[in-house]
Amino acid sequence: MPLRRRLTIAFGLAVGLTAVALAAGSYFVVRHNLLRDSVKSSAKQARKNLTLAPSYLPGTKNLLDAYTRTGGFETIGFVGDQSFASKLFLEPKEVPASLRRIVGRGQLGYQRETVSGTHYLIVGGPAGDAQLYFFFSEQGLRHELAVLRNILLAGGGLLVLLAVLGGAVLARQTLRPVARASAAAHSLAEGLLETRLPVEGQDEFGGWAQAFNEMATALEAKISALSAAQARERRFTADVAHELRTPLTALVGEASLLSEHLDRMPDQSRRPAELLIADVGRLRRLVEDLMEISRLDAGAEAVQPEAVDLASATGAILRARGWDGRVRLDTEKTIVTTDPRRLERIVANLVGNALEHGGDGVVIRVGRDGARAFVEVADQGPGIPPDHLSHLFERFYKADPARSSPGSGLGLAIAQENARLLGGEIEVWSEPGKGSRFTLRL
Amino acid sequence: MNEHVLLVEDDASIREIASLGLEQAGFRVTSSGDGREGLVQFRQSAFDLVVLDVMLPTLDGFEVCREIRKDSQTPIVMLTARADLHDVIVGLELGADDYMTKPFELPELVARIKAVLRRSAADPGDHVIAVDGLEIDPAGFTVRRGEEEIALTATEFKLLLELARRPKQVFTRELLLELVWNYDYLGDSRLVDAAVQRLRGKIEADPKEPKLIRTVRGVGYRFDAG
């Protein structure tokens, strides 16, 4: 149960129980007093009546007339076997036997009875050889008590209701800092690092809010320092790659002119020139990959989706690189909405790797696996040891540090970033000795 | 052939090696290392093509391109330092016919220049196409609306011609790259989109609601005659 509800209920209960106890107590005190007063005054009147009686008896009519003049009660009398009553509906049997026994012993007695729906206090006593019973109506008294009870019940109910409402408001007030702190923690978690709590008052919540804010400030400082460092690092990479471009363009041009004249070079300079040309090519690939990955990091790469048939696109990519004779294709027409240029980067990278490491026996499958389209590049090369698999998509990661490969070390990282940009991913499966399988899923 | 190429590039090494490469490929090359000077040179003699770097001192490549396009349809190939989408699109929208990103291989630059120049070569033996008040004359390399001649670059003209020759046929961007730019699969479809935009700006009554060159969503473009 939430803390707020528990607090509300506790408050309501405390106030409610107190109110009920007070109301019940006062009701019973009032009731007791009223009933006692009623007995006292009725007994007083009964005594008066009894003293008056001998002067009229045995003539009952005059006695009853005298009583009627006094008013406020009805009378039943017994003289020997005879009985008389001031009202027709009062029959001798209405006088309770227990009361009659008390009066029979010559004592004054009283008892409460309901006769024809009316509450009476019956006071009886002996008058000579007669017994007289006086019926005092307590209807008014009962009614007053009922009204009082209803008032107390209604008041108590209202009080409990108010107590619950007040408790709810109070609980909310008390717990507001908790709710605020929890919302603040959520927004911190979602990355709104500038979230702070208002510090109100000197109580425990105030201290807590202050501590929370200090934590948030420290966290914000740490994270912004980290992301600034990361941004600097990325910017540096982008700048380096960019600055390398101009001299590299010149180098590429020079190497390309040089390559046209290789056969006319003296032997001792031809080999170095060949190496120079090859290295310029390698440098060019590295710089281009660096440029691409820093653009991907900066989120500067736009996706231009269009309807593409993965099968024919893959065929075209292979043909454009002269690879179509070296791989086996197992494709079916698979139309997806994607950016063909990014797709080309990914597929070319995967196939290039497979051809380089796997040699012959590269098989490319294109199709659909449930809702997702896939391009799978499988080779029968030496495979990748399991402990290298999870690092494969890291930048500049080389499974074998001693072995230099013609790639930049960024190829798979770029391919993976591109795949993510297309809303897909690249999965890898490999078993040493059997080969590797890279699957692009879109 | 000895076509005259103006090369505007601020880096001395690139300028020299590109000049050398183009000369060996049979072009006559005039080079310049600064935007304003390049523009002056362009106005002093007749060039068949301009190779224009984006980052230039005094006047950047975009400005030079804009100035040239004010009164000339001479083909322009931009050299961009970045493969930034933004740079490429700005260049193409200003009327460049093609672009190359650095670093590039000289043979590729030569191939692109030749492809652009081929577009400006007249296509004799083709008869005049008349659609919707538009008169396209392949031999004279001119487009008229009534008496008024519409100035199109070679790329725009070739694009219009290819589309108008087969009205109602849907051309994919790849097919247009092949027909107009002489590219294979690896070309950039943004070339097509930017050229279509420019062409619409010149021949459509309302370029925002094109009636002649229609976009076929997700596929490419189609020429509608009337």
pLDDT tens column, B127-152: 788 877 888 888 778 888 888 888 88
Q: Which domain holds residue A435?
A: 306-441
Q: Test A320 with B105 for CB contact under 8 angstroms.
A: no
Give SS3 for B92. helix
Residues of B in contact with A301 (CB under 8 A): 85
Are A268 and A279 contacting, i.e. CB atoms less than 8 angstroms apart? no
Residue B107, chain A, CB below 8 Å: the answer is yes
Q: Which range among A93-102, B15-24, B74-83, B163-172 shows the weakest confidence by mean pLDDT?
A: B74-83
Does the residue A264 lie in any domain?
yes
What rounded mean pLDDT belongs to chain B? 86
In chain A, which residue's Cα lies nearest the Cα of B18? A253
Instruction: Give the residue from A262, A277, A297 where a domain finishes.
Output: A297
**Domain boundaries defined on chain B:** 4-120, 129-223
| A434 and A412 both lie in a single domain | yes
| A423 and A314 both lie in a single domain | yes
Q: How confident is the model at residue B12 (pLDDT cuts 50, 70, 90)?
A: very high
| A317 and A289 both lie in a single domain | no
Residues of B in contact with A319 (CB under 8 A): 185
| A141 and A257 both lie in a single domain | no
> How would DSSP label each residue in B46-81?
--SEEEEESS-SSS-HHHHHHHHHHH----EEEEES
Split into its structural domains, chain A has a count of 3
Q: Test A246 with B18 for CB contact under 8 angstroms.
A: no
Arithmetic mean of pLDDT, B78-82: 79
| A134 and A250 both lie in a single domain | no
| A10 and A90 both lie in a single domain | yes
| A282 and A368 both lie in a single domain | no
Q: How confident is the model at residue B64 (pLDDT cuts 50, 70, 90)?
A: very high
| A236 and A105 both lie in a single domain | no
pLDDT above 70 (res B83): no
- For chain A (442 residues), the mean pLDDT of every run of 10, in chain order, is 82 84 90 92 89 80 83 85 82 85 88 87 87 89 90 87 86 82 87 84 83 90 90 84 86 90 88 91 88 82 82 87 86 88 89 82 89 90 84 80 66 91 90 88 89
d(CA A27, CA A354): 96
Are A36 and A29 contacting, i.e. CB atoms less than 8 angstroms apart? no
Q: What is the pLDDT of residue A40?
A: 92
| A127 and A245 both lie in a single domain | no
pLDDT above 60 (res B1): no
List B residues 78-97 in contact with A (Cβ-Cβ < 8 A). 81-85
User: Hey, how many other C-beta atoms are within 10 angstroms of the C-beta on A270?
Assistant: 14
| A328 and A279 both lie in a single domain | no
Q: Test A257 with B106 for CB contact under 8 angstroms.
A: yes
CATH number, domain with residue A102: 3.30.450.20
Q: What is the pLDDT of residue B172?
A: 87
CATH number, domain with residue A385: 3.30.565.10
Residues of B in contact with A245 (CB under 8 A): 81, 102-103
B33 vs A129, which has greater pLDDT? Answer: B33
Q: Test A320 with B184 for CB contact under 8 angstroms.
A: yes
Instruction: Give the residue from A126, A150, A174 where a domain finishes.
Output: A150
Does the residue A20 lie in any domain?
yes
Q: Test B189 with A284 for CB contact under 8 angstroms.
A: no
Does the residue A201 lie in any domain?
no
Arithmetic mean of pLDDT, B40-66: 92
**Alpha carbon distances (Å) from B143 to A101, B119, B199, B223:** 137, 15, 12, 16
Q: What is the pLDDT of residue A434?
A: 84
| A383 and A322 both lie in a single domain | yes
| A140 and A90 both lie in a single domain | yes
Does the residue A244 lie in any domain?
yes
Does the residue A177 lie in any domain?
no
- Regarding pTM above 0.90, the answer is no
Return the CATH superfamily for domain B4-120. Response regulator (3.40.50.2300)
Instruction: Give the residue from A115, A150, A185 where a domain finishes.
Output: A150
Which class is domain B129-223?
mainly alpha
ipTM of model over 0.85: no
Give the minimum alpha-carbon distance from A376 to chain B in angstroms, rounded to a whole number.
21
Q: What is the pLDDT of residue A405?
A: 62
Q: Going by C-beta distance under 8 Å and a sequence separation of 6 or more, which residues neighbour residue B216?
A: B170, B222
Q: What is the pLDDT of residue B205?
A: 83
